[in-house]
């Protein structure tokens, strides 16, 4: 059985990536797998404060870990400079991922082209780490453009996008708008699931994972 290892990126920050990571991980558990959730880079939190990895572990009931943390709430490049340390390199970050075996659901920070250093982005990291991507689209004004730009950027870099998860991140989505988004993305990406607007909880993740499971199974 080959490992299922994916990189979860978003159309923006605050679009529901952490909740999507938890849902994917929980769906994998329902398929008899034992995934681990990784947060590639956590920014905006001091040492000791629980971050996205801890939240995913609690929501999905899986092992989780954080690879790098910076206190400044910014992109990893700016956060590293503010901390007075060398910016991250995609290959070095990928080697940390390689230290984990089995199924991995790896969460980025912000969008696909958020910079790690002056020359590399999370897209470079995903490619070097040999991770296919799943795109989280936050259902808000402008998300169609952001989704299409992300899909185009991934295609230009030969980064496979296995599918997309839509998240009503800011408010409940009207059916008409959801239909518009689905129409625009049709033929460009496979929609794996739609997460409604609500506060993340273990019960909600469990429910959404059950709906996501049949769409994840063919990817294994």
Catalytic residue among 17, 39, 188, 190: 39
Per this entry, what is the length of the chain? 220
Dihedral angle sign, alpha carbons of residues 8, 155, 159, 185? positive
Alpha-carbon gap, residue 168 to 175, rounded angstroms: 11
Q: Tokens 């019960």 appear where?
A: 203
* Catalytic annotation present for 39: yes
Angle between helices 17-30 and 202-216 (to 10 degrees): 70
* DSSP SS3 for 156: helix
Q: Where are the alpha helices (DSSP H) in the chain?
A: 17-30, 52-60, 76-83, 90-98, 122-128, 143-156, 175-185, 202-216
Q: Which residues are catalytic?
A: 39
């Amino acid at each position: 059985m080959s490992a299922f290892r994916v990189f979860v990126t978003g159309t923006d920050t605050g679009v529901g990536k952490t909740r999507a990571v938890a849902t994917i991980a929980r769906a994998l558990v329902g398929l008899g797998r034992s995934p681990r959730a990784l947060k590639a880079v956590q920014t905006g939190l001091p040492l000791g404060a629980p971050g996205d990895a801890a939240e995913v572990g609690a929501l999905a009931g899986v092992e989780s870990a954080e690879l790098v943390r910076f206190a400044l709430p910014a992109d990893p490049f700016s956060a590293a400079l503010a901390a007075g340390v060398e910016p991250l390199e995609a290959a070095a970050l990928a080697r940390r991922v390689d230290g984990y075996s089995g199924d991995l659901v790896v969460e980025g920070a912000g969008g696909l082209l958020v910079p790690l250093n002056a020359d590399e982005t999370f897209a470079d990291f995903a490619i070097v780490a040999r991770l296919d991507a799943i795109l989280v689209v936050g259902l808000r004004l402008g998300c169609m453009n952001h989704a299409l730009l992300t899909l185009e950027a991934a295609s230009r870099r030969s980064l496979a996008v296995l599918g997309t998860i839509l998240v009503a991140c800011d408010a409940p989505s009207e059916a008409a708008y959801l239909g518009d988004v689905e129409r625009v993305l049709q033929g460009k990406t496979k929609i794996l699931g739609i997460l409604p607007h609500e506060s993340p909880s273990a019960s909600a993740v469990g429910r959404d994972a059950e709906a996501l499971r049949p769409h994840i199974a063919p990817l294994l």
